[in-house]
Structure 1
Amino acid sequence: MQHQSTLPLFSVLAFLGTGLLFAGTLLHPMHADPNIAAEAFAEYAADRHWVVSHLLQLAGLWAMIGALVLLARRLEEGPARSWARLGAAVAIASMATAAALQAVDGVALKAMVDRWTAAPEPEKTALFAAAFGVRQIEIGLASMNSLLLGFMAAIVGTAVAIDGRLPRWTGLIGIAGGIATTASGIVIAYTGFSAPAMAIGMPANLALMAWLIALAVLSWKRALT
């Protein structure tokens, strides 16, 4: 078929992306409560791998989203064409939002918390306020990123379920994971990086990673024909 050659690349990107995202997440410090700014900023400033961990996360997320774009192109050949095209469009928007999020979180916030911790006492209050402002921008981007990722997963999951060349349950998992990820984005918008947001977001992210791996394995075996 027209896009048959995309299948090996889809599987490679799926496995590579989940591996990079997992590695970046493992490097990310997670001891301080992210919703208590002073504690979180001190932990971030002390972390030597902050930029690397966020670049790994971005590379992983881009690879995973790229894999889903390739899958959507394959699904355009079947009865789910409209859903597949919509999913691919949302995926591209997700890539841009992820890059903006990591620019703020992985680069700008790190620079601000480093300056805050190194500054003499008279300057600390102003620098903390500036770092806190960057944090709020990060929260806004994280919320929008989760919303877009959730929409993308739910839309592509719907396309998979309609298409019928892969087991219907794979589509339903994508829809469920997408809804949960969208919900986490809404909770982040209202409460920041709160315990409820993390309790929804972390399992949802793991579910989407497992979903992508399952899609990669099944797509390779069945060749979507």
Structure 2
Amino acid sequence: MIVYTASAGLHPWTPPHETAAAFADYAVEPLWALYHLGELLGILLMGVTVLALAWRLRRGAAVVWATLGAAAMVVYAGLYAVFVAVDGVALGIMVDRWAGAGPGQQDLLYETAFAVRQIEGGLFSLQWLMFGIVAGLFAVAFFIKARSTARGRWSNILGWIIAITCLGALSFGVVQSNTGYSDLSMAFQTGIYIGGVWVLVVAWFLHREPEHVDRAEKPSTRV
């Protein structure tokens, strides 16, 4: 989380739908690709945390939902890697070419860079839709764990926090996919910041609940 936040904080903050101003800022940023690689590293580290959570929930009825959540997290990390390739590499190259071109080529290169931006925007919506699915699956896992353990209060609280993360990510993904980068999508983007809170909550859970706690689950009452 720290790696991702630090890398994202160094990224130019010009709104992406203010295209000309954003491209001008990107063109003078010498470490553009490096910032995005830092973000990818942060996402991969957060992915490891989520996979560790799935391993911790491997016993009991929650295991199926946790396993599906882990698989969805791998898909999310893959989507983010493609997003970085488009935004952090392809767009950076096109913006540099646009900024350095003569008057006769700038319009064409601007439109080409704008097309790359639209591909980036599509990937951005897909990755957060997938993140919402990841959170939703783990929310169900925690609600099930809350019903099957002697100390289910904290699992229930964590389930609701993760459920809110799910709604925030899904709502942003839907708006982004329908409007692209826009004032409306930027307003909904605040919903994805809850994802950072979720990862911190997961890390807290892994620290608070030692391995042996999983063995304390109530025996199933099914016949």
Task: Assess same fold via TM > 0.5.
Answer: yes
Say yes or no: does 1:129 pair with 2:111.
yes
Root-mean-square deviation (Å): 1.4
Amino acid at match of 1:26: G
Counterpart of 2:181 in 1: which secondary structure? coil
**Cross-structure match for 1:95:** 77
CA distance in 2, matches of 1:133, 1:92: 27
Structure 1 contact 151–178 (Cα < 8 Å) conserved: yes
Amino acid at match of 2:175: V
Say yes or no: does 1:139 pair with 2:141.
no
**Cross-structure match for 1:11:** none
**Cross-structure match for 2:10:** 27
Structure 1 contact 151–179 (Cα < 8 Å) conserved: no
Task: Kindly provide the CA deviation profile for residues 128-161 of structure 1, in whole angstroms up to 9, marking residues without a partner as x.
Answer: 1111111111011101001001110111122122
Of residues 101-110 and 124-133 in structure 1, the stretch that sits farther from structure 2 once superposed is 124-133
Instruction: Point out where structure 2 has 5 or more consecutive residues left out of the alignment.
Output: 147-151, 214-223
Structure 2 contact 50–202 (Cα < 8 Å) conserved: no
Structure with bigger gyration radius: 2
Once the two structures are TM-superposed, the CA of residue 91 in structure 1 deviates from its matched residue by: 0.8
Once the two structures are TM-superposed, the CA of residue 125 in structure 1 deviates from its matched residue by: 1.0
CA distance in 2, matches of 1:19, 1:209: 10
Structure 2 contact 172–192 (Cα < 8 Å) conserved: no
Instruction: Point out where structure 1 has 5 or more consecutive residues left out of the alignment.
Output: 1-17
Once the two structures are TM-superposed, the CA of residue 37 in structure 1 deviates from its matched residue by: 1.5
Once the two structures are TM-superposed, the CA of residue 211 in structure 1 deviates from its matched residue by: 2.0
Structure 2 length-normalised TM: 0.87
Once the two structures are TM-superposed, the CA of residue 214 in structure 1 deviates from its matched residue by: 2.1
CA distance in 2, matches of 1:83, 1:209: 21
CA distance in 2, matches of 1:207, 1:36: 25
Question: Between the two proteins, what is the percent identity of the paired residues?
Answer: 34
Amino acid at match of 1:29: P
- Equivalences for residues 166-177 of structure 1 within 5 A: 166-177=154-165
